[in-house]
Structure 1
Amino acid sequence: MQAFDQIQELWQKHEVEVKVSADEMLQQVKKEVNGLKLKSALNILGMLTSFIAIAALWVFYHFESWTTHVGISITLIAIGVYTLILYRDHRLISKSDYTVHPNEYLNNLKTYQLNRYKLYNSLYWFYTVALSLGIIFYFVEILAHFNFIQQVIAIGLTALWIIFCSTILRKAVIKREKERIALLIEKFERISGQISTRN
């Protein structure tokens, strides 16, 4: 019985390493990379759609107060800058062919990871403050057309939406994206290691 316990203990300590070739690994990450690119492109498309919708509202609707024009300007600048940052990051993960240059793509992916960290932390708060400021200026004229209850509902829903996006939603997105990018980086490091041992 003691021999059985020793064998069982050795078995539990023994780790089996699954060998996956670099080609198989590249096939596995192909889907993940394409998903990352698609998500990035959809983020940019959503921001552009928001920019166009707000700009169209500004052009086609007559606003009387200067505060509304300031609010819309601040909002459009914030969305425009954030969109350019998203586009820069999208180009970073789309410019090199990961099947031909996995090391270069790995470096780009690490830079992308760092940029996303900055985007969701310090830059996100500048974006949120700018949008909030834009909405406050915009509301000066718009809320004058509402009765008191409608004003409270509009301000309350806007504040709740900003708080929800800045806390629960932001944390969930950061966690999911952090795990996804870390997994891709790990896979590309293993691919690079296997390719360098071949040479």
Structure 2
Amino acid sequence: MQEFEDIKSLWHNHTVEVKISSGEMLQQVKKEVNSIRTKSLFNIIGMGLSFVAIACLWLFFDFNSWTTHAGITILITAIAVYTFILYRGHRLITETDFTANPHDFLTGLRVYQVSRYNLYNRLFWIYMIALCVGSALFFFEVLSYFSFWKQALVVVLSFGWLIFCSTIVRNIVIKKEKERIALLIEKFERISAQFKEQTHQP
């Protein structure tokens, strides 16, 4: 019994440090970085397609009310500005080669983290307000051609979707992206630290 206690004590007091090389660490995060870049690119493409789709309303429909034109203008302006912000954030994680310059990429990743935080908070609500105002002005003329129940259905579905995206979907995306970026930053901090250790070694 005493031998068992001695072995147990030795086990608890013994720590094994597992070190992962910077090369192996870069391989681990390569897929994660590429995934973030791809997702960011798809977001930009999606916003660009939305811009084109709404702008095409002017080409295929003849609107009579100024409110409709004002609504479309607000919508495409909001989408264009938001797309530009997404593109600027995308450049932060694509301009630097993370395999060659992990420290520089880490700096860009931290700036990207702050930009995403701003994007999902103050800027997001400005964007949502613009969408609501633009949609309301657009529907002012368009819905006049529909019956009451169709008007109600379009309004409920449209603004219900905006509310759903701005609450449940937004919270899920923020949580996942926050954890993902924080984990990447932690890994790149370890990579940078290992590079420094290797540089100072004789």
The two structures share one fold, judged by TM-score above 0.5:
yes
In the alignment, structure 1 segments of 5+ residues that lack a partner are none
**Could you tell me which residue of structure 1 aligns to residue 19 of structure 2?**
19
Q: Which amino acid aligns with 1:167?
A: T
Q: Percent identity?
A: 56
**Could you tell me which residue of structure 1 aligns to residue 32 of structure 2?**
32
Asked whether 1:166 is paired with 2:160, we answer no
Q: CA deviation at 1:26?
A: 0.7
Asked whether 1:94 is paired with 2:91, we answer no
Matched position secondary structure for 1:99: coil
Q: Which amino acid aligns with 1:106?
A: L
For residues 11-66 of structure 1, give each alpha carbon's deviation from its aligned partner in whole angstroms, at most 9, with x where no partner exists. 45765443110000111111111111100000000000000011111222111110
Matched position secondary structure for 1:62: coil
The alignment's TM-score, normalised by the length of structure 1, stands at: 0.95
CA distance in 2, matches of 1:2, 1:70: 85
Q: CA deviation at 1:97?
A: 0.6
**Could you tell me which residue of structure 2 aligns to residue 190 of structure 1?**
190
Asked whether 1:52 is paired with 2:64, we answer no
**Could you tell me which residue of structure 2 aligns to residue 108 of structure 1?**
108
CA RMSD of aligned residues (A): 1.5
For residues 73-119 of structure 1, give each alpha carbon's deviation from its aligned partner in whole angstroms, at most 9, with x where no partner exists. 00000000000000000011000111111110000000000000000
The alignment's TM-score, normalised by the length of structure 2, stands at: 0.93
Is the alpha carbon distance of 1:59 and 1:17 closer, same or farther for their aligned partners in structure 2, counting shifts above 3 Å? farther
In the alignment, structure 2 segments of 5+ residues that lack a partner are none
Q: Which amino acid aligns with 2:161?
A: W
Asked whether 1:144 is paired with 2:144, we answer yes
CA distance in 2, matches of 1:120, 1:50: 19
Is the alpha carbon distance of 1:130 and 1:22 closer, same or farther for their aligned partners in structure 2, counting shifts above 3 Å? same
**Could you tell me which residue of structure 1 aligns to residue 129 of structure 2?**
129
CA distance in 1, matches of 2:67, 2:6: 78
Q: CA deviation at 1:9?
A: 6.1
